Amino acid sequence: MTSSIFGVELDLLDSEGQLLSELGRMLDDEHPHRVFTPNPEILLLARSDHAYASVLNTADLALPDGTGVALVESIRARKRVRRWPGVEIGADLLRLAATRGEAVVLLGGTDGAAQRAAHRWRSGLPGLRIEVVGSGLAFGRDGRAVDPGAEAELVEQIRSLAPAVVLVGLGAPKQERWIADHAGLLPSVRVLMGVGGAFDMWGGTLRRAPRWMHAVGLEWLWRLALEPARLPRIARATLVFPVLALADRT
């Protein structure tokens, strides 16, 4: 089942089994696949930036992230629509890669977050082949490294590691644009996914909300308590987005 908000196509999967089947199919394929998880902030940006909306629509799998997106889709469909946090899908990809003996690259992150995340995953999944690239590099909103030389070096480094999976933690819209520009330049890669701040969560820098808050859609309140400066962003995601999305007819 699919849907659309502000012209961005979304895939509405019902179960973890469906998701794992899709991810497994991608890893079995010979071509690169793009996985995005549009949340309210991403969709609001796409509403005013049609070029970015077009980038999002290159996804092979675009799953709704964020309570607001799931709420809007549930109202439209008149049934519960599941949200798919990118941090959890990224974890699923890491586990699949470990069972298949596939290499994974974490791209991006600051202050050692990706390195800490990789260390934790190696400890939790013995045998997982996981490396970090591009940590601390500056990227522009176009998704390219500010230093052109560093950009070329980054691509060559990923090629030399020959990963099947690249998880890009640059934040939106940089990560989706980087993926759109580079998917065809990395011969070994079969899944590229934007994971936002997942490295911080996996590495322990940022604690995720308790499970009960996930279940009732209050993860945003947890983030607000930890990061009060996010109030304007959270207000747009929880108040502005649902009103605009429910009125949307694209």
Q: If DSSP codes are grouped into helix, strand and coil, which group holds residue 133? A: strand
pLDDT by residue for the chain (250 residues), tens only, comes to 899 999 999 999 999 999 999 999 999 999 999 999 999 999 999 999 999 999 999 999 999 998 899 999 999 988 999 999 999 999 999 999 999 999 999 999 988 999 999 999 999 998 899 999 999 899 998 888 888 889 999 999 999 999 999 999 999 999 999 999 999 999 999 999 999 999 999 998 777 767 776 666 767 666 767 777 776 777 788 889 999 999 987 6
Tell me the one-letter amino acid at 204. Answer: G
Q: How far apart are CA 25 and CA 227, in angstroms?
A: 38
Q: What is the pLDDT of residue 180?
A: 96
Report the distance separating Cα 67 and Cα 223, nearest Å: 13
Among 80, 69, 60, residue whose Cα is nearest residue 19: 60
Residues ≥6 apart with Cβ < 8 Å to 201 = 87, 207, 208
pTM of this prediction? 0.93
Query: What residue ranges define each of the domains in the chain, with the CATH number in brackets?
Result: 2-206 (3.40.50), 214-239 (no CATH)
